[in-house]
Chain A
Amino acid sequence: MKIVPLEAYLILSLLLFGLGVFGMIVRRNLVAVLMSTELALNAVNVAFVGADSHLGLVDGQIFALFIIALAAVEAAVGLGIIVAIFRLRKVESSDELTDMGG
């Protein structure tokens, strides 16, 4: 049952989270930044489920379900904010938001 060791899950989670944070910093497009956030959330889910299969528990899977639900909320609110920003300011890149249009 438990052939894949815990370290493999943790290394995959580390690499996926690093790529997510990297994308959050490097991308200019706001929607791409949100998608990189989804990558980081998935990395946390992989760590939870891998720890579960190592420990023989299911609590981490329940927290993974909570993270999936909260990721849906985050996508809804974030994309709503992006659409509102685009409608009000006509910008879609994250560097053009730094100036205050008083």
Chain B
Amino acid sequence: MMQWIAFLFFASMTLLSALGVVLLPNIIYVILSLLSTLVMVAGIFFVAGAELVGALQLLIYAVAIAVFYILVLTAVPWEKALKKDSHYRVEGVLTFPILLAFYLEIILVFLLGISVSPKGQIREFIQSLGNTQVVGSILFSKYFFAFELVSLVLLVGMIGAVIIGRKEDKTYEDSSP
């Protein structure tokens, strides 16, 4: 019962904050709503018993990525964006039911797969060890190659971000005829 109350609180706060991300006009309020959404999703992870993912959600998402967004917001002057008359593309609303129907289909397929799949073979193993130990042992044995690939993707993304964000030496103006 306590778990239900916590889940309902975190879920309703997540949806409210996500509505704020989608609908608020001022970009500073939008990033505050995004921060609230990330913290509440971490609470949902804690309710579901995934302590490691929840802690990393707080550490990486709610600290690193949010600070990164704020840094970019301070680097780019947004005065022109703030005095624009409309912040929303209203005709985009028309595509929303189609996307929702597609995602409902995905959920239906997922529920079918859940109903025929076996469950709970290693639950005793997990409860005897604790979440972080099980995730670590499976991450570094079964998914070790994927883990190394993710680190490679991080390296490539870092180099790409540095090269894209580098200051050019007026090559675009000079090369035009």
Query: Measuring CB to CB, which residues of chain A are less than 8 angstroms from any residue of chain B?
Result: 1, 3-4, 6-10, 12-23, 25-29, 31-32, 34-36, 38-39, 42, 45-47, 49-59, 61-62, 64-66, 68-77, 79-84, 86-88, 92-95
Verify if B1 is at the interface (C-beta below 8 Å from A).
yes
Contact size range, B:
35 or more
Q: Chain B's interface: helix, strand, loop or mixed, by majority?
A: helix
Q: Indicate if the CB atoms of A25 and B89 lie closer than 8 Å.
A: yes
CA A1 to CA B139, docked complex, whole Å: 24
Contact with B81, one of A21, A29, A34, A57 (Cβ below 8 angstroms)? A29
Residue B175 at the chain A interface, CB threshold 8 Å:
no
Known: A13-B107, A65-B53, A80-B165. 18 other contacts (CB 8 A): A4-B3, A4-B7, A6-B114, A8-B11, A12-B15, A21-B96, A22-B99, A26-B89, A29-B81, A31-B76, A49-B53, A51-B110, A53-B50, A57-B122, A68-B61, A73-B154, A73-B158, A74-B157
